[in-house]
Amino acid sequence: MVTADRAYAVESLYFHPEQRLGASNKSLCRLLHVGGNCGTLRKKKGGAAMTYQAEREAICQVGKLLYDRGYAAANDGNISLLVEEDRLLITPSGVSKGRMTPDMLLVTDLDGRVLEGDRHPSSEGKMHLAVYRGRPDVRAVVHAHPPVSTAFAIRREGLETPYLAELAAGLGTVPCTASFAMLSTQEVPESVVPYLPDHNALLLANHGALAWGGNLWEAFDRLEVVEHTAKIVLNTRLLGGGVSLTAEEVARLQGLRGMYQTLREVRKTT
């Protein structure tokens, strides 16, 4: 079974979050990597306490990246973060991910009941909950509609041909669900569940892309890798086709995952 942390080091071994968020946001960068629970409180307008302030700000930062990079237009996409074992922070319905503010996010339990917030949680909350239930190691889920990978989803074609060494050693294959699942129904989580044990990202037929990870930044990066891979595969086809890695080469690349994981653990302690 693929774990949320198992392959992430090869995906962003040399990445420093300050490069994206700026040196003034170092505490936020640490949160994005660690996925920890700060449990901070800040007063909302009107005087009510707002929990998980740092986590809310982190989700808004990721939402802005989704919007700015064209992965989520208008009100598309949704993001969630497991802030405690029985508490989920999730984006609201009907709000652009590029214009969210921390007070818009909702706290729910793992049955989807709203515990804090005055908006409706994402209509795809059931899909997020299915990922957390199926993968206890996961702490964050990101869903969006990146244009090229969504085009592959419309073709109902996964990104499974081993063209890229980095993908073979890191994220691994990205399958596509076999059929369309009606939005906002139980069909969506049911379509995702079979892929959870062995994958960390998925294309949703005629819908979009979904990725999960051990922290918020890992989930976002995996979704970005899906879109980047889709662009490369598309360009390869425009050039007349490519040559895939052999089964032996893929196996050797997958064997590097343990080394990259060790390097990542060293980074955490330094």
Q: Which position among 55, 124, 218, 224 bears the catalytic label?
A: 124
Under 8 Å between Cβ of 53 and 107: no
Please give the average per-residue pLDDT across 126-130, as a whole number: 98
Q: Determine the pLDDT at residue 18.
A: 38
* CATH homologous superfamily for the domain 8-269: Class II aldolase/adducin N-terminal domain (3.40.225.10)
Under 8 Å between Cβ of 18 and 177: no
Q: Helices in the chain by DSSP H: which ranges?
A: 8-12, 18-21, 26-34, 53-68, 125-134, 147-154, 165-169, 187-192, 216-238, 247-254, 257-269
249 tagged catalytic: no
Mean pLDDT of the chain: 86
CA 240 to chain centre: 31
Asked if pLDDT for residue 75 goes beyond 90, the answer is yes
Structure tokens at 141: 């889920």
Structure tokens at 116: 């804090």
Angle, alpha carbons 204-149-258 (nearest 5°): 85
Q: Determine the pLDDT at residue 80.
A: 98
Asked if pLDDT for residue 15 goes beyond 60, the answer is no
Q: Determine the pLDDT at residue 22.
A: 46
Q: What DSSP assignment string belongs to 107-157? A: EE-TT--EEE-SSPBPTTHHHHHHHHHH-TT--EEEEE--HHHHHHHHTT-
Q: Which of 206, 75, 212, 226 is nearest to 149 (CA)?
A: 226
Q: Which of 33-42, 184-193, 215-224 has the lowest mean pLDDT?
A: 33-42
Q: Determine the pLDDT at residue 41.
A: 45
Cβ neighbors of 166 (< 8 A, separation 6 or more) are 10, 11
pLDDT band at 2 (very low <50, low <70, confident <90, very high): low
Render pLDDT for 150-164 as a digit per residue (tens, 0 to 9): 999 999 999 999 999
Backbone angles phi and psi of 159, in degrees to 5 = -105, 80
Q: Determine the pLDDT at residue 257.
A: 77
Please give the DSSP secondary-structure letter assigned to residue 244.
P
Separation of alpha carbons 71 and 265, rounded Å: 30
Q: Which residues pair with 176 in a beta bridge?
A: 203
The span from the first CA to the last CA of the chain, in angstroms, equals 28
